[in-house]
């Protein structure tokens, strides 16, 4: 018998220690100009009985591992737990990783689990909680347009069944930018959906994409995105700096000259403008992705607002050559934080080589960042 379970392609970085339970396949919208994840794939809802069977498979693998594990889980432990089971060892490794981190969190895949009815979603959530009483958090991606169609009562029932956090791709609060990238929502819908999710008791993560409006809408992208955040006051604001990926409509728009990407420094300036306009909130801003240049820019409003702006100003006040060397060092993994910056011979050599080959640092960074998406 096989205890394999279906896995989708992505999860948020904050769900690194979560087990993945796939309840839908791909994205029901799948038209955003910047996204390549589900292009060419058809959306479908997985049969509830298949999802339940996957949860049971994970439970069985947990029990098989625990039956043979001592104080630690090793490859030998997993091979012994697997025995004659024809499930690929990969699935045992996935479950073992989750087990070692306490089996505390679950992420529902793929792009928008809330398209399921409240009844079906609650059935799945109840079964997860039944099988794994150690769970403290269950999370999912969700679209604002989907949340806005759910009644507050349905959202509360889903929350009470165990779904604790929603990751919502705001991307931008600017109506012109949302239309430009074919997001399929509006500023008002983003505000309404966020407020409804907060009222239902969810932790809410809103994603903001600095640079999504290009040079054409840089200020509007920052200021109007902050306006949405000010109305919603989500638990988290997660920065995802825009990188145009080959094969996406946004990349084509760049090639055709209808969208002009921001430089690394301009994206930092946009983030500063965004933070400056975030007022009256208690959200936590996180920079938890390699796409972001300044991972140091994190904190909770209003207490850490001045410190976040000061970090940005430290970068913006650096001489241009130092800025560019930090950018290169950050992008090749030599520096993680701005405070890590120091004169480094390897970075210096690469800097001058890149300047000679590409002409500008931003052209080189565009090539490097393609590998992170």
Q: Are residues 352 and 205 in the same domain?
A: no
Structure letter (DSSP) for residue 46 = P
- Cβ contacts of 223 within 8 Å, gap of 6 or more: 174, 273, 274, 277
The per-type count for the chain, helices as H runs and strands as E runs, is 15, 10
- Tell me whether residue 154 is in a domain: no
Q: Are residues 128 and 181 in the same domain?
A: no
Q: Are residues 276 and 192 in the same domain?
A: yes
- Total domains in the chain come to 3
- Tell me whether residue 110 is in a domain: no
pLDDT tier, 367 (very low <50, low <70, confident <90, very high otherwise): confident
Q: Are residues 290 and 325 in the same domain?
A: no
* Per-residue confidence (pLDDT) for residue 263, from 0 to 100: 95
CB atoms under 10 Å from CB of 161, counted, come to 18
- Tell me whether residue 324 is in a domain: yes
- Tell me whether residue 111 is in a domain: no
pLDDT tier, 332 (very low <50, low <70, confident <90, very high otherwise): confident
**For residues 175 and 370, which has the higher predicted lDDT (pLDDT)?**
175
Structure letter (DSSP) for residue 164 = E
- Tell me whether residue 345 is in a domain: yes
CB atoms under 10 Å from CB of 339, counted, come to 10
Mean pLDDT on 223-241: 98
* Per-residue confidence (pLDDT) for residue 289, from 0 to 100: 86
Q: Are residues 224 and 358 in the same domain?
A: no
Task: Answer yes or no: is pLDDT of 371 > 70.
Answer: no
Q: Please give the backbone phi and psi of residue 270, each rounded to the nearest 5 degrees, phi first.
A: -65, -40
19-22 β-sheet, strand order: 19-22, 105-109, 137-142, 163-171, 203-208, 236-239, 284-286, 299-300
Q: Are residues 294 and 334 in the same domain?
A: no
Q: Are residues 263 and 362 in the same domain?
A: no
pLDDT tier, 372 (very low <50, low <70, confident <90, very high otherwise): low
Q: Are residues 121 and 252 in the same domain?
A: no
Task: Answer yes or no: is pLDDT of 2 > 90.
Answer: no
pLDDT tier, 230 (very low <50, low <70, confident <90, very high otherwise): very high
pLDDT in tens, 24-39: 999 999 999 999 999 8
- Tell me whether residue 124 is in a domain: yes
Domain boundary residue, one of 317, 342, 357: 317
Within 132-286, residue ranges assigned H as helices are 144-149, 152-161, 175-180, 187-199, 218-232, 249-256, 264-276
pLDDT tier, 232 (very low <50, low <70, confident <90, very high otherwise): very high
CA gap 287, 250 in Å, rounded = 23
Domain boundary residue, one of 317, 333, 352: 317
CA gap 372, 174 in Å, rounded = 26
* Per-residue confidence (pLDDT) for residue 90, from 0 to 100: 95
Query: Where is 55: in which H helix or E strand?
Result: helix 48-68
* Per-residue confidence (pLDDT) for residue 253, from 0 to 100: 97
Q: Are residues 300 and 213 in the same domain?
A: yes
Q: Are residues 278 and 351 in the same domain?
A: no
Note down the domain range covering 309: 143-148+159-317
- Cβ contacts of 29 within 8 Å, gap of 6 or more: 111, 112, 143, 145, 184
Q: Are residues 209 and 337 in the same domain?
A: no
Q: Are residues 181 and 128 in the same domain?
A: no
pLDDT in tens, 299-308: 999 999 999 9
């Amino acid at each position: 018998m096989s205890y394999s379970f279906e896995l989708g392609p992505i999860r948020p970085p904050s769900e690194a220690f979560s087990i993945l339970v796939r309840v839908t396949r791909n994205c029901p919208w799948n038209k955003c100009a910047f996204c390549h994840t589900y292009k060419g794939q058809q959306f479908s809802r997985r049969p509830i009985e298949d999802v339940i069977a996957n949860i049971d498979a994970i439970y069985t693998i947990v029990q098989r591992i625990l039956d043979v594990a001592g104080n630690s889980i090793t490859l030998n432990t997993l091979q012994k737990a697997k025995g004659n089971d024809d499930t690929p060892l990969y699935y045992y490794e996935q479950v073992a990783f989750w087990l070692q981190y306490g089996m505390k969190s679950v992420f529902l895949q793929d792009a928008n689990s809330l398209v399921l009815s409240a009844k079906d979603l609650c059935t799945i959530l109840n079964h997860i909680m039944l099988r794994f009483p150690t769970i403290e958090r269950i999370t999912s991606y969700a679209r604002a347009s989907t949340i806005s169609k759910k009644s507050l009562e349905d959202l509360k029932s889903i929350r009470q069944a165990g779904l604790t956090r929603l990751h919502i791709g705001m991307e931008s609060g600017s109506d012109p930018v949302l239309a430009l990238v074919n997001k399929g929502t509006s500023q008002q819908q983003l505000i309404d959906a966020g407020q409804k999710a907060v009222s239902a008791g969810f932790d809410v993560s809103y994603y903001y994409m600095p640079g999504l409006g290009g040079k054409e809408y840089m200020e509007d992208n920052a200021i109007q995105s902050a306006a949405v955040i000010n109305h919603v006051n989500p638990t988290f604001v997660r920065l995802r700096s825009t990188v145009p990926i080959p094969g996406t409509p946004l990349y084509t728009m760049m090639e055709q000259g209808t969208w002009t990407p921001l430089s690394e420094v301009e994206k930092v300036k946009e983030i500063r403008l965004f933070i400056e306009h975030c007022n009256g909130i208690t959200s936590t801003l996180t920079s938890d992705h390699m796409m972001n240049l300044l991972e140091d820019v994190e904190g909770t409003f209003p207490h850490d607002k001045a410190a976040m702006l000061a970090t940005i100003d430290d970068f913006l006040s650096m001489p241009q050559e130092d800025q560019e060397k930090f950018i290169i060092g950050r992008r090749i993994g030599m520096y993680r934080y701005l405070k890590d910056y120091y004169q480094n011979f390897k970075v210096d050599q690469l800097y001058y080589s890149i300047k000679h080959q590409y002409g500008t640092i931003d052209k080189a960074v565009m090539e490097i960042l393609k590998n992170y998406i």
